[in-house]
Amino acid sequence: MRITAASFLIAVSLVCATPDLAGQSSPAQMWKLPQGIAVKDKGPRTYRFTVDYNTANTRGEVLYRQRVTGEYTRGFPNGEAAWKNVTVADAAGPSADFPPAQKRDFMEGFRYHNDLASTFKPEFFKGFPPTAVVERNLVWDTGMLEMYGQNYFDHLKLNEPYHAMANKDVAMQDVGTFHVRDTLLEWIGRSQRNGQDCAVIRYQSFFNPVEIATGGMTLRGRSDYWGEIWVSLATKQIEYSTLYEVVTGEMKPPGQDATQVVNIFRIGTFEPVNAR
C-alpha cells in the first residue's frame, strides 16, 4: 500500500489528537465526593430563578406562555433566605413577545428559615393569594434543587443511580397533592461553573400523580421532571441548575363543567446573580 504525504499527515494528526489515557488518568480521590461537609455560606448569596411555563394542546400547539422570575438570597444569619423582584409575564401563542412583567409585591422581602419541610406547613404561605401557584413553585423548586444538590454527597457514587425518595405523598397547602413515585439522583461527572470545580448531579422523577384545586380550577394528571445541578466541591453551593417538567392532565377551568386535556411544559434555570 502506498503511503502518500497527505495520508501521513492525517495519521499524525489523529495520533496527536488522541488523548493519552494513561497520562490523563485522574487520582482516585478526584472521583469521590467530599464527605461529611456542610454548605459554606460566606454571607448572603443571590440567585436568579427564571421559569417558562408553556401550555399546549394534545397536538403540541402552544396556546399560552408564562414567564416567572425572581431573585432568591440565601446565607442570611440564622439560616434564613429571602425573595425579591418576583415578576410574572403572560403571552398568548408560541412566539408573541412578553409584555412588561407584573411585580408580585406580596413576595417582596418574603423571608423565612431555609428549610424545605417548613414550606409545606399550613401557615407558611399565609400572605399569598390562593391562586399564587407559580409563586409558591419558586420556593418549592428552590428548596428541591438545594436538597438534591447539597444533601446527598455521602450517598452518591460516580455513575450509580441513587433512590433518594419513593412513594411519598406531598400536601401542597392551598394548591393540591403530589405523589412522588421514585426520585433518582446520579453523580454523572465533574465540570466548572463560575470558576468553581463542580460535581454535576442529574435528578429525575417520572409518573408522579398530581391533583390541583385552586381558584375554582381543578387539574388531575401526572408530572415528570428532571434536570442537572452543578455543585461546588469546595463550598457545596449551587453554581447552576436546570429544571424541566411536563404536567399532563385533565383540567376544568373556573366556572366550567367540561374538562380539557392540557400539557404544561416548564423550563427553568437557576444561577447566581454575581458569581463569586
Stretch 243-252: mean pLDDT = 96
How deeply is 85 buried, as exposed, middle or buried, from its count of CB atoms within 10 A (0-12, 13-18, 19+)?
A: middle
* 50 falls within a domain: yes
How deeply is 26 buried, as exposed, middle or buried, from its count of CB atoms within 10 A (0-12, 13-18, 19+)?
A: exposed
Instruction: Write out pLDDT tens, residues 193-226.
Output: 999 999 999 999 999 999 999 888 899 999 999 9
Range of the domain at 51: 44-272
* 152 falls within a domain: yes
Q: How many domains does the chain have?
A: 1
Q: How far apart (Å, rounded) are the C-alpha atoms in residues 60 and 251? A: 16
The C-alpha R_g of the chain, in whole angstroms, comes to 22
Instruction: Write out pLDDT tens, residues 43-87.
Output: 999 999 999 999 999 899 999 999 999 999 999 999 999 999 999
* 225 falls within a domain: yes
Q: Kindly list the distances between the CA atom of residue 20 and the CA atoms of 17, 182, 249, in Å, as whole numbers in the listed order.
A: 9, 40, 51
Q: What is the CATH number of the domain that holds 241?
A: 2.30.230
Q: Kindly list the distances between the CA atom of residue 274 and the CA atoms of 51, 182, 247, in Å, as whole numbers in the listed order.
A: 19, 34, 32
* 108 falls within a domain: yes
* 237 falls within a domain: yes
User: pLDDT band at residue 29, thresholds of 50, 70 and 90?
Assistant: low
* 1 falls within a domain: no
Q: How far apart (Å, rounded) are the C-alpha atoms in residues 46 and 149? A: 17
Q: How far apart (Å, rounded) are the C-alpha atoms in residues 108 and 113? A: 16
* 260 falls within a domain: yes
